[in-house]
Amino acid sequence: MNHAVTLSQLRTCAAAVAVLVLTGCASTANNPQDPFESYNRVMYGVNDAVDRAVLKPVATGYKNVVPGFAQTGVSNFFGNLSDAWSSVNNLLQGKGEEAGTDFGRFALNSTFGIFGLLDIASEAGMPKHDEDFGQTLGKWGVPSGPYLILPLLGPSTVRDTAALPADFGGDIWKYKEPTNWRNIGAAIRVVDTRASLLDASSLLEDAALDRYEFLRDGYLQRRQSQVYDGDVPRQLNNDDQDDGDTGVNTQVVPTPVSTEKP
């Protein structure tokens, strides 16, 4: 029997745990976009403790020991895989040109870029787009719903959580065989992502009086900007009750991205 646990399974379990916990969570929040604040703050503390005890030290060692060119290769490799799913989401959003560019990036980097280790597509003037199914749902008019922190995965919303199964299915690495190689790669992917955020997390720790609020507001602003490709409709700046997409000022600030969401 194969007892290996994939990253996809961990993500699915995390989302399920969050939903189960929220069913018994009373709302005590003042922010209309964060009715589950009491639960979210507890989960934020749990995630932060795990990060400080395990993930951050490992990521720091990785950044200090692994040569820079190797780190770049790892980031390029997984970034290249994400271009394929980004292409699909751009197509679903009706953005044919961007879909073609992302697919072209994937094809070019997967071949001449040595399986994506080299990002020659960017050097060739093909811009990278980061699109996921949560953004696609937002483009289709699905409101974001309340802010939600998932176990291990970090900041999300109800809409983005509902989109996770599609994003998991669109992750090419999920289908890598044998399973042990898939799990090793998934772990390296998480560590590499966390290493790339070390400076941002240090800034968060030094600058924010309430790190939870800073992270929440930055995340919601960033997701709204991503859904509208940086061109947020004017009415959303003035109507906090529009469609629940954020209800916060849409001026995008540097976002201290969670350590859990790759």
| CB 236 within 8 Å of CB 247 | no
β-sheet bridge partners, residue 154: 150
Task: Provide the residue range defining the domain that includes 107.
Answer: 36-238
Task: Evaluate whether residue 195 is within a structural domain.
Answer: yes
pLDDT in tens, the chain (262 residues): 444 344 444 444 444 444 444 444 444 447 899 999 999 999 999 999 999 999 999 999 999 999 999 999 999 999 999 999 999 999 999 999 999 999 999 999 999 999 999 999 999 999 999 999 999 999 999 999 999 999 999 999 999 999 999 999 999 999 999 999 999 999 999 999 999 999 887 777 776 678 899 899 999 999 999 999 888 887 665 544 444 454 333 333 333 344 343 3
Q: How many residues appear in the chain?
A: 262
Give dist(CA 28, CA 36) in Å, integer: 7
pLDDT attached to residue 200? 80
Give dist(CA 131, CA 160) in Å, integer: 12
Task: Evaluate whether residue 15 is within a structural domain.
Answer: no
| CB 35 within 8 Å of CB 146 | yes
pLDDT attached to residue 207? 66
Task: Evaluate whether residue 258 is within a structural domain.
Answer: no
Q: What are the φ and ψ backbone dihedral angles of 150, each rounded to 5 degrees?
A: -95, 145
pLDDT attached to residue 235? 66
**Domain count for the chain:** 1
Task: Evaluate whether residue 48 is within a structural domain.
Answer: yes
Give dist(CA 45, CA 156) in Å, integer: 15
Q: Against a cut of 0.85, is the pTM above it?
A: no
Task: Evaluate whether residue 254 is within a structural domain.
Answer: no
Q: Is the CA virtual torsion 231, 234, 240, 241 positive or negative?
A: negative
Residue type for position 207: A
Give dist(CA 135, CA 215) in Å, integer: 19
pLDDT attached to residue 22? 45
CA atoms within 13 A on the CB side of 131: 29
Task: Evaluate whether residue 55 is within a structural domain.
Answer: yes
Cα of 2 vs its chain's centroid, Å: 29
β-sheet bridge partners, residue 148: 156
Task: Evaluate whether residue 228 is within a structural domain.
Answer: yes
β-sheet bridge partners, residue 157: 147
Mention every residue, 6+ apart, whose C-beta is less than 8 A from residue 66: none
Task: Evaluate whether residue 26 is within a structural domain.
Answer: no
